[in-house]
Every structure is written in C-alpha cells, then in structure tokens.
Structure 1
Amino acid sequence: MYPIPRHALSPYHRIAFESPSNMAPATRICLAATALPFRHLTRIQTCRRAIHAAASNPAKVAPVYGTGPPPPPPQPTEEDYNRQLYLAKRKRQAQLLREAGIVRSAGDAKSGSDSPGLKRRFWRDVTVKEVNGAYEIHLDTRPLRHPTDKTIIRLPLSKPVLAHALATEWDQLSSALDGTRQHMIPLTSLVCRALDIAADDAKNSSSATTEAAPIRQSIVTTVMRYMDTDSLLCWAPEVDQSDPNAVAGSLNDEGYSLRDMQEEAFRRVVAPLTANLWPGISIVPVLDGHSILPRSQEPGTREVVQGWVLGLSSWELAGLERATLAGKSLLAAARLVAEWSEEQQEERGGNAFSSEVAARAVSTEVDWQISRWGEVEDTHDVDRVDLRRQLGAAVLVVAGVRGE
C-alpha cells in the first residue's frame, strides 16, 4: 500500500496525520509544549468585580427640604457699624475734594487763593523792569533767576523783544512745577545757555591760555559735524528722463521733483552765505545721486566756517547751536543767525530769512513725503510746530536793537 500524499489530505486528516502519536519523540515533546498554552486559553474564564466594595448610592431626584421659616438675617456688630461710618466719611471727603478740583480747574490760573494747597503758582503778575542798565524779569517782586547758579537773569538793553517774550513765557505757566520742565520754557533755557557761554568766556579770558573756552569749543565741535550730514547737502537722485513712468511718478502737483526742490532750497540758503558771509569758498552737496559715502568739502571750507563760528558772541552762538540741532542744518542756522544778528540788521532787506522760511528749507524731504503719502497725526504736525518754536527762539535770542 502506497502512502497518501500530504497535499491530498484534508486539513482534518492532515492534523490527525501529524498528531503527536505519529511523530518522533523529540518533535512530539516540542509541539506539545508549544500547543499547551493555546489549548488552555480558550477555557480561561474572566470574572468581574467592582472597583470599590461600598454599596452604590443612587442620586435623589427630589430631595426633601425643610418647610419651616428661614433663619433670621445676621445682625451687624459694633465693629461693622464703625467701619460703615468710616467708609461713609471717606466718601464724603472724596466728593468734597472732587468738587474743589473742578472749581479750581475752572477758575483763573492767576487766582489769589490764600490756601497754599490750592494755589497753582506763587506769582500773580510778570513784569519787565530795567534795573542798573539791564532788563530783569520779575515774578511779582521776585526776579527770575538762573536755575543752576541762582544768579538773576539780566538781559542787555538791546534786546527788549527778548525780555518781553521771556516774560510772556513765564506768564503763560499755570504752576511753579512747569518752570522746572525744559520743554515748557524753551526760551528760558536758551537764555541761560547764552549766559553760561558768556560766563565761561569771561572766566577763560582771565587765564593766560589762548584756546577757546570749554563750552564754546564744545559747541563748535558739535555744530561742525553737520557739515558732513547737513540737511541741505543731501540730495535725491536725478529723475531718469528716458523712463516716462519714472518721470510721471516723481513729480508733484506743480511739476517739480524732490531733486528740484532740494536744489532750490540749497541755492536760496547757501548763495548769500558764500557771497557775503563766507566769500571765496564753495560748498558742494555731500550726498548726490546714488552715492553712499559722504563727499568732503573743498580744502579751506571747513576752516573758514569754523573760524566764523568761533568769533560769534555768546547770544549768537547759543542761537546757532539751538537752530542747528533743531533743523539738523548748520547752513540754515548760520543764515538765520547772520540775517537776524544785531550787527547785520542794516543789511537785512524786505525778504528776510525768517524762521518759517528756514523751517521749510530744512523740511523739504519731509514735506515732499507728506504731500505724496499723507500726514501722520500727532507726529508730523507736532514736529512741525516744535521746529518753528525752536527756530523762533533762536531768532529772538540773536536779534536786538542796536544803539539802545
């Protein structure tokens, strides 16, 4: 009898054919060991038990409430009663203070209240008096003093406009605290700067040194730095005339480009300087076109300008410093000082170089951007007013009436 092939057996007969009884002893032991766990897994029974041993407590759908009257409300103690009185008193005091503040703010700043706590400033009237050949500003009977050395501020008789402008500045203050804020008294700070320069020059003249006084030398060093970055010497690139789109997009409503306006401002400011104030020198733009590095002035130009700055009086030097820092332009500040100086008043014609003209000259690029993209509220308008205030203060300090 021939054996039946393995592939001809059914799965049931194949398992029976390969049962352990038909296998070798070693093979039978291994298969029995591996098949035993699988054979018992089907007979494992699982049991269920609760996580806790306590009895279940079902929710009460309709709990039972008491049917009697509610408990009496809590009675205030003596401590609570005293605290309520204290809070009521504090509320009345706060209301009185608010009413007093409303009345005080609605009243005149010059009210002569006798109460030190409600008085807004210690002076009523501001007057200009001529004392020993100089003008003094008096707050009632107290003369205005220098905030640093406490000396009386005395202005020369050739500057009556400056004296009355200084008095007006202090008359507009609403409190004594405003007198300690530099942004509230720009003219006073500028006058004190001029007095400091004069005192430092007098102190240095008594010594044997030939060098300039420290304050004067520091001002000269500061303003001469603007010869390399002057607002009037930095020009935009020229418009490419071969590109119609570039030409149309770079012109304003009047048909001028930014480069044209910058060149016009430069000629209006610099031409009188090179013709009258600094004859024989040539001033060129430091940034022209697409250049990145500033170009130096011709030899001798800086020396001439620096010598002129060193020879200014204390009032003119203080005005030059303020105008230069405000407009970022030494040339515009020099033109403003030369135009309004006491020594140059006879040469000033009808078209004076005023603070308004100087402000427009140094703000050419800003005005151009505003005309194209609009004005940023509380930024451009504030900067415009502050620039004119600073340049106007410089004009008042420099100007004077000669012969009085």
Structure 2
Amino acid sequence: MSEWAAKRFWTAATVAELAEGYTVHLDGRPVRTPAKAPVVLPTRALAAEIAAEWDAQAGEIVPASMPVTRAANATIDKVAHQHAEMARMLADYGDSDLLCYRADSPAELAARQAEAWDPLLDWAESELSARLETRTGLMPRPQHPETLDRLHREVEMLDNWAMTAFHDLVGISGSLIIGFAALRGAWPAHTLWQVSRLDEVWQQEQWGKDEDADRVARAKERDFVNAKRFHDLSRG
C-alpha cells in the first residue's frame, strides 16, 4: 500500500511582516511547524527563501527539497527548547576534534594534514582564544579543561538559529573549529568541507573511489553548504 503524501494546495507563498519578525503565508494563511508552532523568522531574507521553497513544490510536497524550511522548523520545534543541552553536546567535539588527530605515517599524509589543519587551529587560537593541541594516532587524549571551557562558552553564546546551522556544520565535518570557521566566514564553506575530507581523499588516491561513498560525500557536502547558507540567511 502506498503511503499518503501531502500535495500542493496553495496558489502562492508570500512573506508577511510581524511585530516579532517575519513569516510565510500560503494564500494568506500562515505556515506552521510540524509541531503546529507559529513560524516566526528573524529576517526577511530567510522568510523569502522559505517562501521560494514552498512555491517550488509541484504536485506532492517533497520535504527533502526544502532544506531551509526544515532547518527553520528544527530551530523552532527543537533547538529553542534544547539550547543548553545542544550546546553541551556540540562543545564536546572540542575534546575529539578532527583537526587534532594526525597521522604519524605516511609522511606525505601527515604533511598534508599539517598544511591544511594547522591554519584552522591557529585561527581558533586567535579568534576564539582557544588553542587545541594535536595528537598522533587514534587514541583519545583530553584537551586542557580551560580550553574546553572557553569553547563551551562560545557555543553557548550562539542564538537558536546559529545553533541549528552549527549542529550540522560540526556534526558533518567532525570538527568544532571547522564549524566556527564556517559560521564566521573565515573560509568558504566548500573549502572547509574539502579540508574536513582530507583523510578520505587520501584514501581515494591510494585505493580508488567507491561510488557509494562518493554519493554519501556529495550529500554531506550539500547539507554542509546548506547549513552555512541557512545561518547567513538568518543574519539578514
């Protein structure tokens, strides 16, 4: 038996201004989140992009084609109610950050890691006042507690909209520092994504590409770039 799928029922999606911000109307009716909460958005740019995603639907509604709408819903229904818990969870990445775990061999891979990742650690020390230490091998070694506390405070200061984007940027890349660099525009999102895949690219060079892994990587790159775009739209 085929599952029921929601179909387009509106003629036009439009942006409406509210006292608290902006929302989107479908033929004059305000959209709501899956939890039935009002959709109140911080910027017109974000509202306009969500309206465009609704307008792009033809026939059946395909949520996967609406990344900005889904991120806004997650912000309102989840992040706004779990901000402190999410901040703690994301800050924990600082103790096992991708950028800190280096190969001891081969020398070429170790050199690539240093060349690509050291500038990000230097940037974090300058911009976040947090210097993470590198390790060789895969065995975990804790970072200095004061450094982790500093990073935790930085995460806690993110507003709900930034936290939603940060959740994906960090989770997809495996790096708290890459997440912050993306939010702050220190490097282009595509560049940071490639930096996060340095080890995978090395393996591909040695053994060849795997089609399934390549497909997953492309999907993750799309999600990473969409998260950065969502953040930027929420700033205006």
Q: TM-score of the superposition, structure 1-length normalised?
A: 0.52
- Which residue of the partner structure matches residue 79 of structure 1? none
Query: Conserved in 1, the CA contact under 8 Å of 2:90 and 2:170?
Result: yes
d(CA) in 1 for partners of 2:221 and 2:13?
A: 25
| Pair 226,364 (structure 1): closer, same or farther in 2 beyond 3 Å | same
Q: Is the 8 A contact 2:37 2:77 kept in 1?
A: no
Counterparts of residues 99-110 of structure 1 (less than 5 Å): none
Match of 1:247 in 2: none
Q: Secondary structure at the match of 2:25?
A: strand
Q: Give secondary structure in 2 for the equivalent of 1:237.
A: coil
Aligned to 1:269: 120
Q: Could you say which residue in structure 2 is the equivalent of 1:192?
A: 73
Is 1:328 the counterpart of 2:135? The answer is no
2:62 is paired with a residue whose SS is: helix
For the pair 1:396 / 2:222, whether they are aligned, the reply is no
Letter in 1 for 2:176: L
Query: Aligned AA for 2:189?
Result: S
Moved over 6 A (4+): none
Q: What's the CA shift for 1:333?
A: 0.5
Structure-2-length-normalised TM-score: 0.84
What is the match of residue 132 of structure 2?
283
Structure 2 vs 1, CA of residues 265 and 160 (structure 1 numbering), >3 Å: closer, same or farther? Answer: farther
Partner residue of 2:41 out of 142, 146, 155: 155
Alignment pair present for 1:221 and 2:72: no
The alpha carbon displacement at 1:197 in A equals 6.0
Task: Give the match's secondary structure for 1:283.
Answer: coil
Does 2:101 align with 1:234? yes
Q: Does 1:121 align with 2:5?
A: no
Separation in 1 of the partners of 2:27 and 2:201?
44
- Structure 1 pair 187/401, CA: closer, same or farther in 2 (3 Å)? closer
Deviations 1:345-398 (A, max 9, x none): xxxxxxx52210111111111122223322222431x32332232222322332
Distance 1:400 1:123, change over 3 A: closer
Aligned equivalents of 2:163 and 2:112: distance in 1?
Answer: 29
Mapped to 1, the partners of 2:18 and 2:154 lie a distance apart of: 33
Deviations 1:41-69 (A, max 9, x none): xxxxxxxxxxxxxxxxxxxxxxxxxxxxx
Match of residue 135, structure 1, among 16, 19, 22 = 22
For the aligned residues, what is the CA RMSD?
A: 2.6
Report the residue type matching 1:154 in the other structure.
V
* 1:309 and 2:143 are equivalent in the alignment: no
The 5 A counterparts of 1:4-153 are: 120-132=7-19, 134-148=21-35, 150-153=36-39
Tell me the distance in 2 between the aligned counterparts of 1:337 and 1:225.
18
Distance 1:162 1:267, change over 3 A: farther
Aligned equivalents of 1:394, 1:218: Cα separation in 2: 20
Partner secondary structure for residue 142 of structure 2: coil
Structure whose alpha-carbon radius of gyration is higher: 1
Structure 2 counterpart SS, 1:153 = coil
Give distance in 2, aligned partners of 1:309 and 1:392.
20
**1:166, CA displacement in angstroms?**
1.9
Instruction: Tell me the amino acid that sits aligned with residue 311 of structure 1.
Output: M
In proportion to residue count, which structure has more helix? 2
Tell me the CA shift for residue 176 of structure 1: 4.5
Q: CA deviation at 1:283?
A: 0.9
Match of 1:354 in 2: 188
Q: Could you tell me whether the CA contact under 8 Å between 1:166 and 1:188 is conserved in 2?
A: yes
Partner of 1:370: 204
Query: Shift in Å at residue 187 of structure 1?
Result: 2.1
Aligned twin of 1:383:
216
Provide structure 2 residue ranges, at least 5 long, that are not aligned to the other structure: 1-5
CA distance in 2, matches of 1:363, 1:378: 16
Shift of residue 178, structure 1, vs aligned partner: 2.4
